Amino acid sequence: MKKMLLLSLAAFAIMACKQPAQKAPGASFDEVLATRRSVRAYDASKTISEAEVRELLLATQEAPSWANQEPSKYYVAVGGEKHAALLEMVGGNKDRVANAPVLIVSTYEKGKSGFFRGTATNEIGDGWGAYDNGLSNAYLVLKARAMGFDTLIMGMRDSDAIRECLDIPENETIMAVIALGYRAQEPSRPQRRPLEDVVRFF
Ligand SMILES: Cc1cc2nc3c(=O)[nH]c(=O)nc-3n(C[C@H](O)[C@H](O)[C@H](O)COP(=O)(O)O)c2cc1C
C-alpha cells in the first residue's frame, strides 16, 4: 500500500514537471492592453534568455498577414557585441534602452504582401508589408507584456548602419528596433484622443 502511494506520488511529480512553464503573470487580455507602455528605463539586473525570446517570437507568427505571406523578419541581439553595436544606432534612444538586455530589429521582405505574381495589387504596394510588420510587432509587444516583459518600439534608428552591422539583405525594409527588458520604473500613460475624434459611425 505504502509502495503504491509512493509510486503514484512519483508519477504525479513527473507529470507536474512536464507541464509548460508558467511564464505569464496571469494577466487578462485587458490588463495586458492597459499595462503595456513604452518603457524608457530598464532594470539592469534582469536578463532574458534566448528561449524566452523564441517563445515571444512564436507569438508573432500567429499574426495575420496579406495572403499569409508572413513578410516579417526579426534579428535578435541578446547582449553581446551586436547588442552593444546596435545601441549606437538608435540615436537619442540609447540612454533609454541601454539596460534592456535584448534588442530586436524588425524588417519585412519587399514585394510579398500586397503583390500578386510580382505586380502590386493596389495603390498601397509595399505599404502592405509595413502594415503586416506593424501587426506582427503589435503581437510582439503584447505577448511581451503577457510574459511580464516591457518594450520600446524605436523608429528613430540608423537603418543603413543596422543593415551593414547585421548583414540584412537589400530586399528587406528595415522598420523598428524594439528594446525588450524589465521596467525599472512605472511608466505613465500618455493621454489618448477622445474616441469621437477618430471614429465615425454610420
Ligand atoms: C512606429 C513607432 C516608432 C516609435 N519610435 C520611438 C522612438 O524612437 N523613441 C521613443 O522613445 N519612442 C518611440 N515610440 C513610442 C511612442 O512614442 C509611444 O508608443 C507613444 O507615445 C504612446 O505611448 P505608449 O506606447 O506608452 O502607449 C514609437 C512608437 C511607434 C509605434
Q: What's residue 26's pLDDT? A: 85
Question: Is residue 161 very low, low, confident or very high in pLDDT (cuts 50, 70, 90)?
Answer: very high
Q: Which three cell numbers stand for residue 4?
A: 503504491
- Say whether pLDDT at 6 is over 90: no
Strands 115-116 and 102-109, by their bridges, are unpaired
Best substitution site from 32, 33, 38, 106 to test ligand 1's pocket, by max atoms within 8 Å of Cβ?
A: 38
CA of 38 to the centre of ligand 1 (A): 6
- Say whether pLDDT at 81 is over 90: yes
Find the range with the poorest average confidence among 15-19, 39-43, 128-132: 15-19
Q: What's residue 16's pLDDT? A: 37
Domains identified in the chain and CATH numbers:
26-186 (3.40.109.10)
Atom 21 (ligand 1) nearest CA? 190
Sign, CA dihedral 18-22-28-32, equals negative
Reported as a single tens digit per residue, the pLDDT across 17-33 is 333 333 446 899 999 99
Q: How many helices (H) and strands (E) does the chain have?
A: 8, 6
125: left (phi over 0), alpha (psi -120 to 50) or beta: left
